[in-house]
Amino acid sequence: MSDLIQSFIYMTESFSIIMFYIHKKINTMKSSNFIKMRLLKSFLLLFALLFSQYASAYDFMVDGLCYNKNSDGTTVKVTYQINDSGNNYSSLSGTLEIPATVAWEGVTYSVTTIGEYAFRYNQTITSVTIPLSVTLIDNSAFYNCNKLTSVIIPNSVTSIGSEAFYNSGKLASVTIPASVTSIGEYAFVNCSGITAVSVDDGNLAYDSRDNCNAIIETGTNTLIFGCRNTVIPNTVTSIGGNAFANCWGLFSVSIPSSVTTIGSGAFNGCYNMTSVTIPNSVTDIGEYAFKGCTKLSSINIPSSVTSIGRYAFYECPGLISVNVPNLTFLGEFAFWNCQNLASLNIGNSLPSIEPYTFSGCSALTEIIIPNSATSIGQSAFMGCTNMTSVTIGSSVTSIDNNAFYDCNNLRSIHSKIQNPENLTYGRYIFDGVSINYCKVYVPVGTLESYQFTAPWNSFMNIFEEGGGQTPIRGDVDGDGVVTSADITAIYNILLGQDE
């Protein structure tokens, strides 16, 4: 009962302080007393509604735990205290044993649910025993309980909600009983301390075959959760979304040749992982799959891959070479800031180059944009400071802002675009590229179109492919490049000093 009294006092004090400042602010307004009273009454009504909402956050409290009655009138769920975003149950510490039944006002109820957010952000409970009466551990029930080291899930629980144990980083092991038929997304994500994972025999929905230290969805052969000690069985066909996300103790992983899909965020944030083997069976790498794996010393993306999601290899400095000739989808930011990526082949089937895809890939020296691509997204190659050559395919109809911004070593652009005047152009596309030293090669018969179309007309050296050197404006000495010597010659001509 002391928790209830403390919560009531806390709300009352907070309400009094807030209303004091509101009243003070209203009194300083240059409005009629009628308007001031209307405002004050509105705030009072608002806080009354909020107060009543908080006051009814739970139906009753017994032995320090709050409960809400379920609609059947005979069962209850453990719920959070009044402040559901704070340190729930801060007065409880050490081992917590949730009762199977609880009595209130002469009625005995069965405890069947650990409710949504029930113990969220608790910083004091170290272990939890859940009774056989419980069938549901709801969403975020033990979210961010960063002192929790062990939990016993009984063979009565059928459903574990999404983010149920999210970021409970000191949890050492997890055993899924045979009764569980549903595990929500992110249920054990960020539980980086887990070293042992098992599923009880007899579970028809999940298994941990071959003592793999992982949870596998049996019907789909998808590994949905793994830990630092996981060995992926060669019967798994998919690494599920966020399966190893933020598993900081994972140093290396070998993906078997049975796997065809690596799901979204599968290895996101595994910043201590130094090596990964991706087999030639994989066709789909999901978004954020290896984002932030900054210590990977080498990654080999097989040529079998046809789809790479956005942010898939974001800031992966270990990526040196990419050869994906069958690629049909490449998401934005996919290789952002992969500073050691020096060799690239993206094939001839990509429909577009998405925004920021290769931004910051400072080791890239050459890029060939296929004829299949119709657009080059914003900042797609921004900051590729060592790139010397780029080929732009014939189907491109738009080039967005900053596409080649700060590619200051770019020396040749091979454009296959036949009608440059019909394109949609963004701003600052070639800012930072030397207009004096970078040569632009264009299709035969299109020279004039390029010379009169921005931003191409800013380049001093434009040539027609295969047509030999084309006389260009400002090239006085005829060497094919406009240099300071040509500028000096023009200056002397204007002054009448030319001999």
Tokens of 300: 């080999």
Greatest C-alpha distance within the chain = 115
| CB hemisphere CA count around 191 (13 angstroms) | 28
Nearest to 290 by CA among 300, 280, 281: 300
Residue with tokens 């190659």: 381
Q: For the whole model, what pTM was predicted? A: 0.81
CA distance 74 to 390: 71
Q: In angstroms, rounded to a whole number, what is the distance separating the alpha carbons of residues 291 and 287?
A: 8
Instruction: Report DSSP state, residue 458.
Output: G
The DSSP symbol for 456 reads G
Q: Which two structure tokens, joined as six digits, stand for 35?
A: 């308007």
Beta-carbon contacts of 314 under 8 Å, excluding residues fewer than 6 positions away, are: 288, 291, 292, 333, 334, 335, 336, 337
Output the pLDDT for position 346: 96
Residue type at 2 in one-letter notation: S
Q: Give pLDDT, residue 66.
A: 94
Round to whole Å and give the CA distance between 125 and 141.
13
d(CA 61, CA 41): 33
Please give, one letter per residue, the 3-state secondary structure of 296-342: CCECCECCCCCEECCCCCCCCCCCCEEECCCCCEECCCCCCCCCCCC
Beta strand pairing status for 206-207 and 214-217? antiparallel
Residue whose token pair is 């952002």: 336
Fold exhibited by the domain 60-194? 3.80.10
* Closest to 435 measured CA to CA, from 464, 413, 420, 465: 413
Q: Which residues contact 33 (CB under 8 A, 6 or more apart)?
A: none
How crowded is residue 148: how many other Cβ atoms within 10 Å of its Cβ? 25
Please give the full DSSP string across 192-252, using - where no structure is assigned.
TT--EEEE-TT-SSEE-GGG-SEEEETTTTEEEEE-TT----TT--EE-TTTTTT-TT--E
Q: DSSP of 409-449, one letter per residue?
A: T--EEEE--S-GGGSEE-SSTTTTS-TTT-EEEE-TT-HHH
- Asked if residue 354 lies in contact with residue 382, where contact means CB atoms within 8 angstroms, the answer is no
Q: Which of these, 377, 373, 371, 341, lies nearest to 357 by C-alpha position? A: 377
Per the CB < 8 A criterion, the answer to whether 194 and 218 are in contact is no
Both structure tokens of 64:
């320090």
| Pairing verdict, β 75-79 and 107-114 | parallel
8 Å CB contact between 461 and 440: yes
Instruction: Indicate the domain borders of the chain.
Output: 2-55, 60-194
Give, for all 499 residues of the chain, the pLDDT tens digit.
444 444 444 444 445 555 555 555 556 655 556 555 565 555 555 544 444 444 447 999 999 999 999 999 999 999 998 655 567 888 888 999 999 999 999 999 999 999 999 999 999 999 999 999 999 999 999 999 999 999 999 999 999 999 999 999 999 999 999 999 999 999 999 999 999 999 999 999 999 999 999 999 999 999 999 999 999 999 999 999 999 999 999 999 999 999 999 999 999 999 999 999 999 999 999 999 999 999 988 888 999 999 999 999 999 988 999 999 999 999 999 999 999 999 999 999 999 999 999 999 999 999 999 999 999 999 999 999 999 999 999 999 999 999 999 999 999 999 999 999 999 999 999 999 999 999 999 999 999 999 999 999 999 999 999 765 445 556 666 565 667 777 777 777 677 665 4
Residue 489 — φ and ψ, nearest 5°? Answer: -60, -45
Contact 316, 290 (CB under 8 A): yes
Residue of 424, 421, 330 lying closest to 372 (CA atoms): 330
Query: Tell me, what's the pLDDT at 485?
Result: 78
- Residue at token pair 């997890």: 174
Residue 466 confidence (pLDDT): 79
Name 413's bridge partners: 390, 440
